[in-house]
Amino acid sequence: MEECEALCTRMAVMVNGRFQCLGSNQHLKTKFGEGYSLIIKLRVHPSDVESGDTSLEAKTRSLMEYVHSTFPDSQLKDQHDGLVHYRISRAQGLTWARLFGAVERVRSTYDIDDYAINQTTLEDVFISFARMQH
């Protein structure tokens, strides 16, 4: 997929021998993508480790409640050791600004060390098309 993104300006997708779409990489991601990926890493303090991770677990639970209340259609993909990964759909006209704003507003509240927000990858788009094939 990396080669396609680097070399191709337009791509066509066929499923079961039928033409499904034609467009640029960004067009395919926007039209057929599942939304955004949000990965948040909480800061781990020595006191968190000494207290048996109960403090880190509490911060993680609190952060997860915030994400679910802010983005009700979010799906938890992974969670461990102060790291949470969500898939957030584009429902209700969700924008990059709203996503970044929601995380930046609570960055110090939940002691967020680092975060990443990504659009659905081209590989995810092709996998969703592959699921349609029989």
The reported pLDDT for the residue numbered 121 is 86
Query: Contact, 12 vs 126, CB < 8 A?
Result: no
For residue 22, the enclosing domain spans: 2-132
pLDDT of residue 125: 87
Structurally, the chain folds into a number of domains equal to 1
Looking at the DSSP bridge assignments, the partners of residue 112 are 42
Would you state the pLDDT for residue 76? 93
CATH number for the domain spanning 54: value is 3.30.70.1110
Divide the 134 residues of the chain into consecutive groups of 10 and give the mean pLDDT of each group.
85 89 89 89 75 76 94 90 90 83 93 92 86 81
CA distance 14 to 4: 15
pLDDT of residue 2: 80
pLDDT the model gives residue 55: 81
